[in-house]
Amino acid sequence: MRVEKGLSSNTLFGYRRDLEKLESFARGCGVGIQNLCRGQICDWVKSLSESGLSPRSIARAVSSVRGFYNFLLRDGFIKEDPTSELLSLKLPRNLPAFLSEDELDDLLDGPDLGTALGLRDRAILELIYASGLRVSEAVGLTQADLDLERGIVTCRGKGSKQRFIPVGKSALKFIREYLRVRPELAGNKTSFKLFVRKSGEPMTRQDIWQLMKKYGRPLGLGAVSPHSLRHSFATHLMQRGADSRSVQTLLGHSDLGTTQIYTHISNKHLRDAYETFHPRAKTDAGRDGDVEEEGEK
């Protein structure tokens, strides 16, 4: 999976954890993992549900074991795939949370621009929103990935796929200001990563999650996250007329269907705006419109 599909270390860790759970279940059944039958696999899935695991996590676990047994069958380790009749879970497709433009402005204004850390934080928030980066892509950026003259950032997404994303003037301004004070944070540490801690070590995904909570909590934004900025990036583009193919390319989605969820958000936004501002949006049929003559039905 690492070599042939180029999957990320986080994805591989999740798959490994799923298979370890299945291996533990197989030991409890007194058989090897390659000897589990269909019924036992179904019992395992049922046990995951009874343990309180979320439907999304169960669906990922089912996908993991399907891929594993498909590999065993293809390479001749087993003669029959016990997951061949295992049904996929249909998950509800929740609309991702995003910030309004006013909320986003308030969030971006949170860092103290009089400090090196504040300039760094503002640069991070601006860049993720301006380019729709995943948090893993943001922490993986190096200084060489930024072309400030052309306003382009180069990132490597899922499957190590490379994409080039334009960056707006506001983000470029704060990135330049951050780079001016970056040596103050880096000290004598040598790091090629763009964003560093106060200790000079490269920032982690957890660091940026904590940063988001730090600035989002005082604004009452609840569970705001780096992904909230990515969703806001895509949603605001769609609301302002961007086509889904362009947004797909910017986000690095391999499947257009993944991007089209933002079309639903945009449509909901239009419906809400219509019902809020159109003078006859909530008029009961027949009340203020044409009134039928008595007896006419």
3-state secondary structure 121-162: HHHHHHHHHHHCCCHHHHHHCEHHHEECCCCEEEEECHHHCE
Q: Which residues pair with 163 in a beta bridge?
A: 155
- Token output for 266: 């945009």
pTM: 0.60
Tell me which CATH code domain 101-273 carries.
Answer: 1.10.443.10
Average pLDDT, integer, range 230-255: 72
The structural domains of the chain, with segments of one domain joined by +, span 9-74, 101-273
- Position 7 scores a pLDDT of 73
Q: What does the pLDDT look like over 97-141, one tens digit per residue? A: 778 888 989 999 999 999 999 999 999 999 998 888 888 889 999
- Position 288 scores a pLDDT of 42
Q: What does the pLDDT look like over 275-284, one tens digit per residue? A: 665 555 565 5
* Contact present, 146 and 98 (Cβ < 8 Å): no
What CA–CA distance (Å, rounded) separates 152 from 175?
Answer: 12
Structural Rg of the chain based on CA atoms: 25
Name the residues annotated as catalytic.
134, 158, 227, 230, 253, 262
Nearest to 34 by CA among 81, 1, 74: 81
What CA–CA distance (Å, rounded) separates 167 from 132?
Answer: 10
What CA–CA distance (Å, rounded) separates 251 from 159?
Answer: 14
